[in-house]
Amino acid sequence: MSPHSMTLMSGFVAVISVNVVIAFYICLAMREPSDKHEPDPKFLAEAKASVKQLGKTQDGDSSETRSKQE
């Protein structure tokens, strides 16, 4: 076999093997039950509090900016 043919064949084998691995991971992900993963309640509570605090901070900043512009 010529070096050019060997290079082409090894490239095709590499691409096919990577695609097989990707397909395998996709199949595993699709077989996984969707109700298995539940978020941590403590994390959810902290995240909601953080979002509320961020919203209050941004609302306060925007009202101060408006009063300064007037």
pLDDT at 24 over 90: yes
Whole-angstrom distance, CA of residue 51 vs CA of residue 60:
14
Q: What is the mean pLDDT of residues 2-16?
A: 96
- Mean of all residue pLDDT scores within the chain: 84
What is the model's pTM?
0.46
Chain position carrying tokens 């595993």: 28
Q: What is the mean pLDDT of residues 6-23?
A: 98
pLDDT at 32 over 70: yes
Whole-angstrom distance, CA of residue 7 vs CA of residue 11:
6
pLDDT at 35 over 90: no
Is the Cα dihedral 34, 40, 46, 49 positive or negative?
positive
Whole-angstrom CA distances from 44 to 25, 36, 50 are: 29, 17, 10
